[in-house]
Amino acid sequence: MSSTKTTRIGEETRVDKVNAELVTLTYGTIVAQLCQDYDSNYQDVNKQLDKMGYNIGMRLIEDFLAKSGVGRCANFRETADMIAKVGFKIFLNVTPTVTNWTSDNTQFSLIFEDNPLADFVELPDDGRAQDELWFSNILCGVLRGSLEMVQMQIEAHFVSDVLRGDDTTEMRVSLVRYIEDEMPPEEE
Amino acid sequence: MAGPPRHATMQSISNGSTLQSGDRPQAQPSQQQLSQQSPGLRVPSNRKTIYDRHLNRSRNTELSRASFAFLFGEMVTYAQRRVTGIQDLEKRLNEQGYPLGLRLLDLLFYRSTSTSSSALSSSSTSSSPPNRPLRIITLLHLIHGPLWRLLFGRAADALEHSVSPDTPNEYMITDNDPMVNTYISAPRDMSMLNCAAYVAGIIEGVCDGCGFETKVSAHNQPTELWPSRTVFLVRFGDSVMEREKVLERAGIK
């Protein structure tokens, strides 16, 4: 599928809307609650966010397919395009840039110019959060969960975040393998 | 200058985690954090920080309702794992909404005064109209109208005062079809559960932030036409009722 066509699907897919600030603030309160529950053990917070995202992703993929009406991607490059231009566009109204492909076409980066989840956010100034917390880590889980439902095992993690003082927000996504047989999803 | 710049009022959501439930009666603790504003945080070289963006930037932006539903659903599921019963769960959801209320209050005031540029530059509130509600009714109208519109794009459906002489401190805000509950289905044995407790927490935060000690709870009051109709019961504390009497005698609106 051509890249422009993908862009068009992302832009033309109609979805019900809510005030963006309600989404942003709700996500913020989730992260804040986790930081409190895990006693500011940010590694655990990252893990929990990833799990929550995974749970979301497993259900979100169905919504994605129903809304966008797209079919199977021919290869991982097309998948990446679909994630950035349709998935993120529909659900977060942003289109991260797909870049930094490895030569074997199994790893790419998503660069986020804008991230609604992180609007109004400043990490706690405790000397650790900026080194340990990946505020938007839920997104990694969402990708992992949703791609698993369409037979792709991937690994995703953030490598930089403007909230940490980095110049960009970048997520690294790697294809581990295509899942051959239908397996029951793991419960998390 | 007495305080931090006004646009700093929407400070880090994450810092909301330091707000313990014991701190509830005053909004002050989070205000104090503001003044000792973080010299230690690293910022991007392009200075893409929250202070360099206009607070109204996201004012009219919208996001997918599904995203909200997914996040909220996950929030409820997570909360559910750590509680003992329905009341406990609702309490937890309430507590998660509470810090939002405190912040939304500031945001509402900021936006209601920042329509003229002069209000933006003034650092004290003295030059802007005194828009912080002093009386209960004014406060409830703020919640019923502007707060609801900010969150849900429309006003709430009803605002009522308790008719019972025993409970003059009780008010009810009704939402015929709360958006937050649209995609929540409670199992039969939890039919009492109302996840709009999250919104109740937001209301409570707004009231407390205004200096109105309050308890707010969400209750299912279905009608044939509106199966998920929810009533937010707002119960003001004794101190508020006493002050209300004094203000009424003084003729303050």
**Interchain CB contact of A139 with B (< 8 Å):** no
CA angle centred on A6, ends A18 and A136, rounded to 5°: 50
Q: Could you report how far apart the first and last alpha carbons of chain B are, in Å?
A: 30
Q: In what order do the strands lie in the sheet with A169-178?
A: A97-99, A107-112, A169-178, A152-160
Q: How far is B168 from chain A (nearest CA, A)?
A: 32
Look at residue B120 and tell me whether its pLDDT is greater than 90: no
Q: What is the mean pLDDT of residues B32-52?
A: 68
**What residues contact A65, with CB distance under 8 A and at least 6 apart?**
none
Which of B67, B110, B179 to substitute to test the interface with A, most A CBs within 10 Å?
B67
- What is the reported pTM? 0.84
Does the distance separating the beta carbons of A35 and B64 come in below 8 Å? Answer: no
pLDDT value, residue A5: 85
Do residues B246 and B220 make contact, with C-beta atoms less than 8 angstroms apart? Answer: no
Residues of A in contact with B66 (CB under 8 A): 15-16, 60, 63, 91
Which of B33, B57, B64 to substitute to test the interface with A, most A CBs within 10 Å?
B64
For residues A21 and A119, what is the distance between their CA atoms, to the nearest angstrom?
A: 8
pLDDT value, residue B117: 43
Least confident of B25-34, B84-93, B141-150: B25-34
**Which residue among A52, A60, A167 sits closest to B46, beta carbon to beta carbon?**
A167
Residues of B in contact with A167 (CB under 8 A): 44-46
pLDDT value, residue B180: 94
* Residue in the block written with tokens 């004012």: B59
Does the distance separating the beta carbons of A125 and B14 come in below 8 Å? Answer: no
Q: How far is B83 from chain A (nearest CA, A)?
A: 13
Q: How confident is the model at residue A180 (pLDDT cuts 50, 70, 90)?
A: confident
Residues of A in contact with B32 (CB under 8 A): none
For residues B159 and B138, what is the distance between their CA atoms, to the nearest angstrom?
A: 12
pLDDT value, residue B16: 41
**Interchain CB contact of B249 with A (< 8 Å):** no
Convert the pLDDT of each residue in A123-160 to its tens digit. Answer: 999 999 999 999 999 999 999 999 999 999 999 999 99
The structure tokens listed for A186 are 């793991």
Residues of B in contact with A18 (CB under 8 A): 62-65, 68, 152-153, 179
The structure tokens listed for B239 are 């101190």
> Which residue in B has a C-alpha nearest to residue A123's C-alpha?
B14
**Closest by alpha carbon to A16, among A90, A94, A116?**
A90
Convert the pLDDT of each residue in A73-91 to its tens digit. Answer: 999 999 999 999 999 999 9
**Interchain CB contact of B187 with A (< 8 Å):** no
Residues of A in contact with B195 (CB under 8 A): none
Residue type at A82 in one-letter notation: M
Half-sphere exposure of B112 (CA within 13 A, CB side): 19
For residues B191 and B9, what is the distance between their CA atoms, to the nearest angstrom?
A: 38
pLDDT value, residue B129: 53
Is the torsion defined by CA of A25, A26, A28, A32 positive or negative? Answer: positive
- More confident of the two residues B8 and B134: B134
> Which residue in B has a C-alpha nearest to residue A142's C-alpha?
B70
The structure tokens listed for A80 are 């990446």
Convert the pLDDT of each residue in B185-237 to its tens digit. Answer: 888 888 889 999 999 999 999 999 999 999 999 999 999 999 999 999 999 99
Q: Could you report how far apart the first and last alpha carbons of chain A are, in Å?
A: 34
Q: How many residues does chain A have?
A: 188
> Which residue in A has a C-alpha nearest to residue B21's C-alpha?
A36
Q: How confident is the model at residue B114 (pLDDT cuts 50, 70, 90)?
A: low
Look at residue B28 and tell me whether its pLDDT is greater than 70: no
Task: Give A 67-86 residues with CB within 8 A of chain B.
Answer: none
Do residues B135 and B244 make contact, with C-beta atoms less than 8 angstroms apart? Answer: yes
For residues B207 and A111, what is the distance between their CA atoms, to the nearest angstrom?
A: 40
- Enumerate the H helices of B37-146 as residue ranges: 65-80, 86-113, 117-121, 136-142
Residues of A in contact with B99 (CB under 8 A): 29, 32
Is the torsion defined by CA of A24, B65, A157, A116 positive or negative? Answer: negative
Does the distance separating the beta carbons of A18 and B62 come in below 8 Å? Answer: yes
Do residues A165 and B41 make contact, with C-beta atoms less than 8 angstroms apart? Answer: yes
Which of A146-160, B44-58, B177-191 holds the top average pLDDT? A146-160
Is B168 in a helix, a strand, or coil? coil
**Closest by alpha carbon to B180, among B71, B102, B106?**
B71
For residues B171 and B160, what is the distance between their CA atoms, to the nearest angstrom?
A: 6
Convert the pLDDT of each residue in B126-143 to its tens digit. Answer: 445 557 899 999 999 999
Phi-psi region for residue B205, left (φ > 0), alpha (ψ -120 to 50) or beta? alpha
**Interchain CB contact of B8 with A (< 8 Å):** no
Look at residue B176 and tell me whether its pLDDT is greater than 50: yes
Which of A18, A55, A91, A121 to substitute to test the interface with B, most B CBs within 10 Å?
A18
Which of A11, A16, A26 to substitute to test the interface with B, most B CBs within 10 Å?
A26
Q: What is the mean pLDDT of residues A117-127?
A: 92
